[in-house]
Amino acid sequence: MLNGQKVVVVMPAYNAARTLRQTYDEVMAQGIVDLVIIVDDASHDDTVAIARTLPQVQLDVHPMNRGYGGNQKTCYRLALAAGADIVIMIHPDYQYTPRLVPAMASLVASGLYPCMLASRILGNGALRGGMPLWKYVANRFLTLFENLLLGAKLSEYHTGYRAFARELLERLPLEHNSDDFVFDNEILAQVLWLDCAIGEVTCPARYMPEASSINFRRSVRYGLGCIRTAFEYRWAKIRGRGRLFPERTELPTREG
């Protein structure tokens, strides 16, 4: 609990056996997490077997691979059903440090930011952590393009480490989003569409053989999806709504 609010960490897992326990241990060491939800997307390794040995874990196993976005849809649905007030998504590949969990949760709990991102770009940690140069260049290009079309000033849209207030997640039409990697981009465009503030904290990144990564072909597909999302957002601004973008309403206020 954090200030009386239930904190749930969700981990979309796929072949994460080598790093799952290490990520989990560091998450729980922060002392504020009430529940960890691990959703396994039909892994071929021992991810499920390891997850079953971890305390304070709710495990859900997809019998067939639903994709990264499909995995997150299950993560958020289960977190809300479990009564989460604050939901933090972190990849179980130990690329991102779980030691930022208290900071991200606190900024959401305070009401300052209903959405928080852990940015690998702030503080120049991406290249120092081993991000391939071509990925860094693509990240910066896409971020610049999206900031221009979405009217934002984020340092990156592509981190796999995010925190959300319950009230925000309940308003997002997540089932309309892709089941592929571009889900990450679509959800942030939806948050911005609702005129909700997005905060960022600096996050050191680790790129190692155990960390998950998509290949060049899928990266190109993801990049094109990000560009399409930005254009859809701009077109929805003209029309007043769109496929991914609901009517704007005020966020409900927390009692107390």
Q: Is the pLDDT of residue 212 over 80?
A: no
pLDDT class for 181, splitting at 50, 70, 90? very high
Per-residue pLDDT, 160: 93
Per domain, the residue ranges of the chain are 7-239
Q: pLDDT grade, residue 241 (50/70/90)?
A: confident
Tell me: pLDDT of 209 over 80: no
Grade residue 206 by pLDDT with cuts at 50, 70 and 90.
confident
Give the pLDDT band of residue 49 (cuts 50, 70, 90). Answer: very high
Burial class (CB in 10 A: 0-12, 13-18, 19+), 66: middle
| pLDDT (mean) for 117-140 | 83
User: Averaged over 119-129, what is the pLDDT?
Assistant: 78
Tell me how far CA of residue 154 lies from CA of 6, 120, 146, 192, 207, in angstroms.
27, 12, 9, 11, 22
pTM, to two decimals = 0.92
3-class secondary-structure state, position 226: helix
Q: What is the mean pLDDT of the chain?
A: 91
- The interaxial angle of helices 67-81 and 183-193, nearest 10 deg, is 50
Percentage of residues in the chain with pLDDT exceeding 90? 77
For the chain, give the percent of residues with pLDDT over 70.
92
Task: Summarize the confidence of residues 226-234 as an average pLDDT.
Answer: 95
CATH superfamily of 7-239: Spore Coat Polysaccharide Biosynthesis Protein SpsA; Chain A (3.90.550.10)
Q: What is the per-residue pLDDT for 136?
A: 87
CA distances from 120 to 12, 156, 169 (A): 19, 8, 23
Taking residues 194-215, report their average pLDDT.
81
pLDDT at 248: 66
Question: Is residue 246's pLDDT more than 80?
Answer: no
Residue 211 has pLDDT above 90, yes or no: no
pLDDT at position 205 is 81
Helix H or strand E encompassing 84: none
40, 14 Cβ separation under 8 angstroms: yes
Query: What value does the mean pLDDT take over residues 123-130?
Result: 72
pLDDT digits (tens, 9 = 90+) for 2-28: 989 999 999 999 999 999 999 999 999
The pLDDT assigned to 256 comes to: 38
* pLDDT band (50, 70, 90) for residue 218: confident
